[in-house]
Amino acid sequence: MKMKKFTAATISEAYVKVKAELGEDALILQTRNLPASLIPFYNGDKVEVTAAIDEDNQISPAPIPQMPVNTSGNNREFLARLKTINANEAENEYKQGQFQQEEFQIHIPNSKQSAPLPPQMQTPIQENTAPITHIDVPQSKKNAPALSISDEEVIKPEEPPLHIMKIRDDLSDMKKLLTEILATGESKASGGYAGPWAILYKRLVDSEIRDDFAKDLLDKLKKSTPNLGKHITKEFFRELAESFPVSACENAKIQFFVGPTGAGKTTTIAKLAAYFSLEKKKKCSLITTDTYRISAIDQLRAYSEIIGIDLQAVYSPDDIQDVIQNCKYSDIILVDSAGRSQKNREHMDELAAFMQELNPDCVHLVLSAATKESDLIAIANKYKKLGVSRLLFTKLDETMRLGNIFNVVQTVGIPVSYFTIGQSVPDDIETAQSTAFVKKLLEGSSI
């Protein structure tokens, strides 16, 4: 038993190879399409045919009498037609499972030089493009013993293990990435950059930093340090950190906290009150203007009693000056406010009235890092008109990417004061630092 695999661009071409090498008595054991992703050096072959022949019982085909070829008339048309058979049509018919038989008949005109056709040549030549599951056995072999092929003899392709397939996919992705961003020329995937600049651009974009901000940053870096060399990472971090302004304004006496509902203002104020009182040893007072929610007052009162600081409530802008006077001996006065939607003009006007009477030294706009970037920018731009001087981002533990924070800061041009990363009081709050933020930004994790 002789067994062999044949590959070709189409199934028809593969069958031609089988017949040419193994003969008409070959048995087709298996046909399959070749997955291009598993071929390291793809040469264009798309199908594979496994065939076998019993060498011991193989019968040599009878010689076909030679026939003079007449290149005139119908024979020329027949030969020309054979040459122009479209291989693509055969392949498409194989894929669709629709096969047709086309009949060609050689017509030899009467000629003195032409020998009469033998009887076996007088049958019209037919080309059968139906899928071949076996080769018809000649009449002389019908009574011969059938070929017996055990399961061990049939060559069955083995699927590679899942981890091998995953490694191949990863290598394929890496190859595509390297081809895109490490090409000597500029490419769309690398933002028009090449070499190490393309790698830096990819890191910024993968961190969800906007394309225009990423390009501005790299253009500045190119001008300041055109030849990065081995200091490429250090200079890149430095430039990125300088593009992210921070300022906690810890020395400001009256600090007002505003923002939309659910951003975490009340919990953040409690954390800062514990921080200033317990760590900085400063005398701190709490004021709340959020009298719409009883739970907000109760929450701050519970924290103030634990920390040991005063809490006062303000119900209208006219009461603010009296309350501030009661806190004149405090080093830090933290003022809470009710959550206000930037779309509600009445509520925004009310908040503006409180701010005018309070005249704070620092206004923190409290924003959730889990909010989508477009909403963050819309909120920040609306509150900016009220005199917001700092951005404070909460819930960094609830997001996987910090690029939206960088984009908001770049868009509105307001520095960041603090980050909060959980609900624990007073632990889960940190003073904003550019270098620490940039490190987590590029790692794709929270602070």
Instruction: Pick the closest to residue 114 from 78, 168, 70 (CA basis).
Output: 70
Tokens of 142: 């019908």
pLDDT in tens, 340-368: 888 888 888 888 888 899 999 999 999 99
Cβ–Cβ < 8 Å for 302, 266 = no
pLDDT in tens, 252-272: 999 999 999 888 888 899 999
Q: CA 109, CA 91: separation in Å to the nearest integer?
A: 35
Q: CA 298, CA 284: separation in Å to the nearest integer?
A: 18
Please give the mean pLDDT across all residues of the chain: 75
pLDDT in tens, 205-232: 888 999 999 889 888 888 877 666 667 7
pLDDT, position 419: 94
pLDDT, position 45: 65
Residue 186 Rama label (left phi>0; alpha psi -120 to 50; beta): beta
pLDDT, position 410: 93
pLDDT, position 432: 93
pLDDT, position 86: 46
pLDDT in tens, 155-194: 555 667 777 877 887 787 677 666 655 554 444 455 567 6
Helix (H) or strand (E) holding 436: helix 434-443
Q: Say what percent of the chain tops pLDDT 70.
A: 66
pLDDT, position 118: 52
Q: CA 28, CA 50: separation in Å to the nearest integer?
A: 6
Q: At 87, is the pLDDT very low, low, confident or very high (cuts 50, 70, 90)?
A: very low
The mean pLDDT value for 395-419 works out to: 92
Helix (H) or strand (E) holding 438: helix 434-443
Instruction: Pick the closest to residue 256 from 388, 393, 409 (CA basis).
Output: 388
Q: Which of 4-8, 10-14, 92-96, 408-412 has the lowest mean pLDDT?
A: 92-96
pLDDT, position 114: 45
What residue spans of 68-161 are helical by DSSP H? 74-83, 87-96
Q: Which amino acid is at 275?
A: Y
Distances from the Cα of 404 to the Cα of 121, 212, 430, 433, angstroms: 80, 13, 19, 17
Q: CA 381, CA 374: separation in Å to the nearest integer?
A: 11
Cβ count near 96 (within 10 Å): 8
Cβ–Cβ < 8 Å for 417, 393 = no
pLDDT in tens, 10-62: 888 888 888 888 888 888 877 888 765 444 445 566 788 888 887 665 555 44
pLDDT, position 57: 55
